[in-house]
Amino acid sequence: MEQSKKANNVRKLFKYVGKTLLQGLLSGAVIIFIFSLLTDRSFFSIPHLALLVGIGLSFSLFGLVNFLAYANPFDEIQYYVERISQGDLSTSINQKKLGPLATFGEPLENMRMGLVKLVTHLQRTGHQVAQVTNEVTEQLYSSEDVIQTTEESISKFSYAIESLATGTRESATTMEEMTQGVQRIAETSVVATESSQSAADLATDGQGKIQSLTEQMNSIHDSFEDLAKTIRLFAEESNRIGEIVEAITNIAGQTNLLSLNASIEAARAGEAGKGFAVVAEEVRKLSEESNQSASQITSLIKGIQDKSQSALSAMVQTNQDVDKGISGAKETELAFKKILESIDLVNSQIQEISAVSEEMAAGSEEVAASIEEMASHGESSKSSIHELLDGTSMQAEVFAKVQNTSDVLKQSSEELSKVINVFKLS
């Protein structure tokens, strides 16, 4: 390589000397031509030719000296710049080879050091950008999976809320029908009370006592499961109402037996027992009506219990946080004392039925109001869930756009690293 460089320098030397000789001859010819015109001497005279040769040789000598003085410095600068253009910033310029061009050494070296600092900074920055881009990309992919899972869970929960709202509306309709039935029982009880009060004047030896019905529900847990607990409370109330209806049926049967006994006694009494027989007949009719109403309520309660159970099952399946256990209501214990053969006892029993019917009506209205409120909360929750689902979808779209931008940034970072890696710093 060194021999090739020397041969190249020799070629450059001859070429440069030849150019200077040609320039000298041309310059000399012009000067001699002008001088010959001014002096009227021949251009091709011996002195003129000698002067022409002298000028050419002088130019050649000057070119030779100039080439020998500046050839190596220019070669060093050329070699130095070529290394930098090829990305090699590891070697400093040789100040000794610059000769008369030594003043260019310091600026060229400052330029190289500036490029080294710039490339070093770009490499460090490119590495940091690539690292951050990779981390952001991984986080974006992870966040995309989480958002997709959340969106699926919200969709399932929304479907469960819609099912629960449908079941709640059906339960509200059934509860309204049951309330109307209870009100009919209350109205019938009022009529029965009036009839039994008339019979009480004829049957003074009858008196009785019925133990009051105690109702108590376990306290409802303070948590998100208010909807399920309201349904459980409603189911338990329905069970208790069934027990009360059963008690009413028992009382109606006993009243029917009592009216039959009273009719027999009135028949034995003859003319004096006709009024008592009329009252006994009214009591019997009242007993039959109460029994029919109780049967209707039992059917309604069974339908309500089935729908309540369906709504509760839907709630349990879709929300694992809902308390699956339900506090059992204390069984209503009905204890009746010995039923005396007295219309006064019948009166007391009918009055008790009337009071229970009023409580049932009031309780049914409260449960209906609770179910209506539950349905309202369900609709609100449904709307909120749809808004949340829309927001999650928009967030997923934003993440997708950010992910695309991150991929573009990552690609640009890789391309920048390829460009920077071309440079050799040490």
User: What span, in angstroms and rounded, lies between the C-alpha atoms of 336 and 405?
Assistant: 82
Average pLDDT over residues 210-219: 63
Strand partners, 424: 88
Structure confidence at residue 182 (pLDDT): 55
Q: Are residues 168 and 262 in the same domain?
A: yes
Q: Are 279 and 117 contacting, i.e. CB atoms less than 8 angstroms apart?
A: no
Structure confidence at residue 77 (pLDDT): 74
Q: Residue 176: how many CB atoms within 10 A of its CB?
A: 14
What is the tens place of the pLDDT at every residue in 241-278? 777 767 777 786 777 777 677 778 767 777 766 676 67
User: What span, in angstroms and rounded, lies between the C-alpha atoms of 158 and 338?
Assistant: 57
Residue 406 domain-assigned (yes or no):
no
Q: How confident is the model at residue 319 (pLDDT cuts 50, 70, 90)?
A: low
Domain boundary residue among 40, 62, 83?
Answer: 83
Q: Are 158 and 385 contacting, i.e. CB atoms less than 8 angstroms apart?
A: yes
Q: Are residues 78 and 171 in the same domain?
A: no
What is the tens place of the pLDDT at every residue in 94-108? 777 676 666 766 777
Residue 173 domain-assigned (yes or no):
yes
Residue type, 335: A
Domain boundary residue among 83, 118, 135?
Answer: 83
Q: Are residues 283 and 194 in the same domain?
A: yes
Q: Residue 339: how many CB atoms within 10 A of its CB?
A: 17
User: What span, in angstroms and rounded, lies between the C-alpha atoms of 51 and 29?
Assistant: 9
Residue 206 domain-assigned (yes or no):
yes
Residue 218 domain-assigned (yes or no):
yes
Structure confidence at residue 186 (pLDDT): 61
Q: Give the structural domain span for 59.
A: 2-83
The token pair at 416 is 């920048």
Domain boundary residue among 375, 396, 413?
Answer: 375
Residue 62 domain-assigned (yes or no):
yes
Domain count for the chain: 2
Residue 396 domain-assigned (yes or no):
no
Tell if the pTM clears 0.75, that is, is over it. no
Residue 293 domain-assigned (yes or no):
yes
Following DSSP, what letter does each residue of 165-228 receive, concatenated?
A: HHHHHHHHHHHHHHHHHHHHHHHHHHHHHHHHHHHHHH-TT----BPPPP---PPPPSSTTHHH
Q: Are residues 234 and 360 in the same domain?
A: yes
CATH code of the domain covering residue 224 = 1.10.287
Q: Are residues 75 and 167 in the same domain?
A: no
Residue 346 domain-assigned (yes or no):
yes
Q: Are residues 175 and 78 in the same domain?
A: no
